[in-house]
């Protein structure tokens, strides 16, 4: 049965899928004490297929004007959607590890990688989509530290990959 956090996510239009197995030689999460370290998650869609991945690379031409929202269908909008998918996939792994998202005491840290060239400088705006999703779902427990990093290439050509650290109560 879904708990309060999954109900909040549903109100926000998100469903937590079943955790997907790793696509390479690593484990999806490691728990050390009360901390859960979740491996980088890529923007698989709800069906979990590789065909549903959001791929691409951002350039300086994709920058948003100050205060502007991404235009629907634009590369920035796709990158923000990818960041949300990554966040939901992180939560799928947290649920698999903890059994229930309501056991999350705190979102501690996100590290996000944005596939971009050297002219793109708005990685932080892309990662805001994941931060906003987690903040909306967890409230004050969702406030976290974060790094937003540009990368010239990511696995399978995805546009965003995000890893996270969560405190489990």
CB 46 within 8 A of CB 53: no
User: Domains in the chain and their CATH numbers?
Assistant: 4-16+36-168 (3.30.1330.40)
pLDDT at 2: 77
CB 146 within 8 A of CB 133: no
Average pLDDT over every residue of 22-51: 95
Residue of 89 and 49 predicted with greater confidence: 89
Average pLDDT over every residue of 91-115: 98
CB 22 within 8 A of CB 150: no
Average pLDDT over every residue of 66-82: 97
Tell me whether residue 113 is exposed, middle or buried, using C-beta atoms within 10 angstroms of its C-beta: 0 to 12, 13 to 18, 19 or more. Answer: buried
Average pLDDT over every residue of 40-58: 94
Average pLDDT over every residue of 73-89: 98
Average pLDDT over every residue of 75-92: 98
What percent of the chain clears pLDDT 90, i.e. is strictly above it?
95
Whole-model pTM: value is: 0.96
pLDDT at 78: 98
Q: Mean pLDDT lowest for which of 27-36, 44-53, 74-83?
A: 44-53
Strand partners, 149: 113
How many Å apart are CA 78 and CA 62, to the nearest integer?
11
pLDDT at 1: 59
pLDDT at 48: 85
């Amino acid at each position: 049965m879904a708990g309060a956090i999954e109900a909040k996510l549903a109100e926000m239009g998100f469903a937590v899928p079943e955790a997907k197995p790793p696509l390479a030689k690593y484990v999806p999460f490691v728990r050390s004490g009360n901390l859960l370290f979740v491996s980088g998650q890529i923007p698989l869609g709800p069906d979990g297929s590789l065909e549903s991945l959001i791929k691409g690379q951002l350039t300086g031409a994709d920058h948003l004007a100050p205060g502007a929202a991404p235009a629907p269908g634009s590369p920035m909008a796709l990158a923000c959607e990818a960041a949300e998918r990554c966040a939901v996939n992180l939560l799928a792994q947290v649920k698999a590890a903890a059994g229930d998202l309501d056991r999350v005491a705190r979102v501690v840290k996100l590290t996000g990688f944005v596939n971009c060239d050297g002219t793109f400088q708005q990685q932080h705006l892309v990662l805001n989509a994941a931060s906003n999703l987690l903040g909306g779902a967890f409230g004050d427990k969702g406030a976290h530290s974060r790094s937003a990093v540009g990368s010239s290439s990511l696995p399978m050509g995805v546009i965003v990959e995000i890893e996270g650290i969560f405190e489990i109560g």
